[in-house]
Amino acid sequence: MQNETGRLPCDESWYLAYTEARRELVARDHLERQGYATYLPMYSEAVPMFPRYIFFRPGRLTQSIAPVRSTRGIQTVVRFGSQYARVTPQLISAIRTQESQCAVRTRKLQIGQRVRVQDKVSGLAGLEGLVDSCANRRVVVLMEILGRQTSVRLAEDHLEAV
């Protein structure tokens, strides 16, 4: 809770900001320029784990979080009633662990990469297409089916690079 000077008690808690749509990286860059510590968990280089949310905390004891509300890319600082939402260091640590495990599992399929559906998917086995997007270990592949380009959503482990 802020005191009358707009300052927050400095502890190890993180705060949560809600960003403008697809502006998480912009928000992170602007927060860091202002001296805030930030954490934006990612599944891959371009896919946030929690779309539109970023964790932050003051970079120094006397830094207020009030300016965060007007930071480019930020829509609002998350509150529960009149209290700013706080996230414990233990939860941040658990998210970091999950993030690193996801990075190890990810095959790093790239947008535009040619892929083939493996035998695990009987109706589409052997068909090829181009990766359109990747998120949450799901991949959208553009395929030509019945003479039309069709978007097909598949689990990442059902695809192999060609």
Q: What are the sequence ranges of the domains in the chain?
A: 14-105, 114-161
CB within 8 Å of 97: residues ≥ 6 apart: none
Task: Give residue-wise pLDDT tens across range 5-17.
Answer: 444 445 689 999 9
Q: Dump the DSSP string for 81-105.
A: TTEEPEE-HHHHHHHHHHHHHHHHH
**pTM given for the model:** 0.63
When comparing pLDDT for 132 and 31, which is higher? 31
**CATH number, domain 14-105:** 3.30.70.940
**Is there a common fold for 14-105 and 114-161?**
no
Task: Give residue-wise pLDDT tens across range 79-111.
Answer: 999 999 999 999 999 999 888 776 655 556 788
When comparing pLDDT for 33 and 1, which is higher? 33
- Burial of residue 18 (CB within 10 Å: 0-12, 13-18, 19+) is middle
Q: 114-161, what's its fold?
A: SH3 type barrels. (2.30.30)
